[in-house]
Chains A and B, each alone.
Chain A
Amino acid sequence: MISLSAENLKVQIGGADILDVPWLRLGGDAEAVDAEAVDAVAGSGGEVAVGADSGAGERAPRIGIVGESGSGKTMLVRSLMGLLPAGASVSGSYTIDGSDFDLNAKEREWRKVRGARLGMVMQDPFTALDPLGKCGRQILDGVPKSSRASFDTRAALAEVGLAADIAERYPRELSGGQRQRVVIAAALATEPQLLIADEATTALDVITQKGILDLLDEIREKRSMPLVLITHNIRLVYQRTDTVIVMDGGRIVETGATREVIANPQSAYTRALIEEDRLLRVSAYPEYRVGGPVILKVRDVEKSFGSVRALDRVSIEVCEGEIVGIVGESGSGKTTLARIVAGLESADGGEVKFFAEGTPKIVFQDPYSSLNPAHTVRFAIEEALAAFGRPLSELSEVMNLAELDESLLDRRPAKLSGGQRQRVAIARALATHPSLIVFDESVSALDIATQNRILGMIERLRSERQLAVLFITHDLSVVRMLAGRIYVMHEGRIVDSGSAEHIFEDSKEGYTRALVNAS
């Protein structure tokens, strides 16, 4: 099994340290990682032995690299593959299977490491494939010359659970999960000795995620190929890896056997990551509130786009001061429902009644595109105030509500973080004194810590201002934290509904069970 090690690995971009790793070992070298893992598991007593691999020494290890976005985890693996962005400089020593490799080698040299030694699966299945190449051709492209004659695309597709006819299709004709399987097949076609999955499931919905992670694990075992999972999701590391490297600010802050690290974290950062994970942390379900006046009533709403039935007789209710979650995978119709409630789309049938003053407001998923890049924060919020006839003096009140610092007033979106931009979008919605705000995947693009802070703010707005919230997401852990009542959507229909506790604990609905089990 391949083993990699690096010492004094440093990456700089524009003079700033992006990565500073004094020592790192990855791969199947029994001395380096597995022995450590086995020792740690053995040392931690019986309680972790249940899920731990009893024969970790023989099996290809599962290694997790975990940290928030910007922690340097992607830079770390990119530097080991010579794929750093233009302008980055790298230094340090690097050893592959005991022989030294120059981190500043030419492309020609790196091409011996990439593919044949290290394979990579990228985060976004929608952009990782050439949009104009047939899937079969793209898989074949990476096959080494020596095995090209005997390469069987059909078998390669079968290995990742795809039908043979996918070879003749273009990426745009496939779903996200199918594309990611093609990406995995393409990465495997180069016959790598170690596979790095860089946030490979982050862009996918939970059920598809589970399928991809199971597939990666199956392949790891079958090929005896170590697997490195890079993720911001500590729960995923907990469920799927034997050893873990925790990264923060370009440094490794903690490393060891996964279960040991999670049971007994040594660094404050690891503790914070675990604390932030909403499902690892045991907490009470949000209160299920009943009895407030109904302010939104959606009855038997239908909507089709061409021959696609986006919504099929959907009925929901939202009461004053209540947070209602709508959960579903992509394509379930939840965004169409959000747009109809917010008046951005009209229904083909059924009725939408809003009993409060004004109109429902909507906050979108992407904080990067929902604000005008030319406008300052002040302009954006004052514009919203003016449009609804509110005095401009309410600016600071709105900023306070959205927990935005006044020092940000004169900044433009480019100078704001993702969380700050989303707060500006929320402030614009709040400027109109709405009774109901629809959040459409509004925190999905943010890291977990920022998500949690914004979710806390939404809960405060609810309790202090009796704001009603319709929270639409694919992420069960978000509604688990926030919503007292939940609707589950699947293929344009509401398939289940009830209190959060009912949905998570004792729903009999098959789809709900599948969703909960996959998360």
Chain B
Amino acid sequence: MITRWGDVNLHGAAGYIAKRIAEFAVSVAALSFVIFSLLYIAPGDPARSLVGTRKATPELLARIREQYNLDEPFLSQYGRWLDGAFHLDFGESIRSGASVSDTIAPHAVVTFELVLISLAISAAVGVVCGVVAAKGRGKPRDGVITVAALVGTSAPSYAAGLVFLYVFALKLGLFPIYGIGDGSAADELWHLALPAVTLAFGVGALLLQITRSAVLKEASSDYTVFMRARAISPMRVTAAQMKNASPAILTSAGLVLAGLFGSTVLVESVFSIPGLGNLLASSVTFHDVPVVQAIALLLAVFICAASTVVDICVYLINPAWTQQHGARRLGGRHERIHA
């Protein structure tokens, strides 16, 4: 029996999606193990690591050993931690004593907003400018866009952030200088605009370059020449080229998303935004191990999920592309997560 949906053989598609979800589960499981092991990889007694910056009295150490079941075998501790993680229970923050989930939640919301807004900006600007540059290859507009993209990819985000802060917030007074405002959605968006643009600056430029070269590759393809030879409208030709270029663009957007979480630490600190990056940095400083583990796991799950979704989308657009590029790309993606 052959079932078809769009251009995809359903058995093939269902099989691929199942395989990709299984890979997601395996990746997350492996990463969770590495993340949990952080406590033991750090030099010294785990109990002392969990003491954080408090004074390590014997009573406190004994209480921590009991609280975290440190006397149990390693794997059973991992099991307990993982079980807790499934219920979003990561224990208590060493620094504040509050629940880790409650500590992270507001920060996570801010960072996810920031990352998604800047992904939207960089994808919109990067893809559109990339197509415009490729279509006008060799013309002045291509030159201008290409140079701008070069500046974007070479300028570090904290430097760009400081320039934006100085020009748009300090000199022109168009945007607030720090924080996330009074809590209303509009005010928060206004506060996040400049950081999001800063974050989008570099990755947008990267997406632009990838889009430009992907579309250029399609523009020199035989099918493009054959479409032009049949006087098919330029709009249709561009649409076909975009569809063929989209797996490369989508895949790099997935990579960019992972990169965004890395850059967010710097941008959050430049703009004093209470996001995950700031929380992660200060938690590392305070040896707040449960919070660090929870954030690391959250990011790992999110990045793996994004990469899974991207791969499935790419497969649905063009299964042949996945067959050609799949294995190599997957390896690259996972390396980035560890980095």
- Interface of A with B (CB < 8 Å)? 81, 83, 85-86, 107, 111-112, 114-116, 118-120, 122, 124, 127-134, 141-142, 170, 172, 183, 186-187, 189-190
Contacts and interface: CB of A to CB of B under 8 A. Distances in A.
Contact of B228 (A114, A129, A186): A114
A398 B3 CA distance: 57
Given A86-B138, A141-B236, A172-B320, A130 B244 contact: yes
A5 to B, nearest CB: 20
Given A128-B223, A170-B7, 9 more contacts: A83-B229, A111-B231, A112-B231, A114-B231, A115-B229, A115-B232, A128-B222, A131-B223, A133-B240
Given A107-B234, A132-B7, A170-B7, A127 B229 contact: no
B154 interface: no
Nearest to A192: B230
B230 A130 contact: no
Contact of B317 (A132, A186, A187): A132
B227 interface: yes
Contacts of A115: 229-232
A116 B231 CA distance: 8
B226 A131 contact: no
A170 B317 CA distance: 13
Interface in B212-227: 220-223, 225-227
Contacts of B318: 131-132
B222 A122 contact: yes
A131 B320 contact: yes
24 contacts: A83-B225, A83-B228, A112-B231, A114-B228, A114-B229, A114-B231, A115-B229, A115-B231, A119-B230, A120-B226, A122-B225, A122-B226, A127-B221, A127-B222, A128-B223, A130-B244, A132-B244, A132-B318, A141-B227, A142-B227, A142-B231, A172-B320, A183-B226, A186-B226
Nearest to B230: A142
B243 interface: yes
A186 B243 contact: no
A10 to B, nearest CB: 21
A459 to B, nearest CB: 36
A143 to B, nearest CB: 9
Contacts of A183: 226
Contacts of B137: 86
Given A183-B226, A186-B226, A142 B232 contact: yes
Contacts of A122: 222, 225-226, 229
A183 B225 CA distance: 12
B7 A190 contact: no
Contacts of B228: 83, 114
Contact of A141 (B221, B232, B243): B232
Interface in B231-270: 231-232, 234, 236, 240, 243-244
Contacts of B222: 122, 124, 127-128
A170 to B, nearest CB: 6
B137 to A, nearest CB: 7
Nearest to A187: B230
B231 A128 contact: no
A118 B228 CA distance: 12
A132 B240 contact: yes
A102 to B, nearest CB: 17
B130 to A, nearest CB: 18
Q: Which 9 A-B pairs have the closest CB atoms?
A: A115-B231, A142-B230, A127-B222, A111-B231, A114-B231, A120-B229, A130-B223, A128-B226, A115-B230
Between B222, B226, B229, the greatest number of chain A beta carbons within 10 A of the residue's beta carbon is seen for B229
A133 B228 CA distance: 15
Contacts of B234: 107
A20 to B, nearest CB: 23
A112 B240 CA distance: 21
A130 B240 contact: yes
Contacts of A190: 230-231
Interface in B46-82: none
Between B138, B223, B236, B244, the greatest number of chain A beta carbons within 10 A of the residue's beta carbon is seen for B223
A107 B235 CA distance: 13
A518 to B, nearest CB: 26
A170 B4 CA distance: 12
B138 A131 contact: no
Nearest to B138: A86
Contacts of B230: 114-115, 119, 141-142, 186-187, 189-190
A131 B244 CA distance: 8
Contacts of B244: 130-132
Nearest to B243: A132
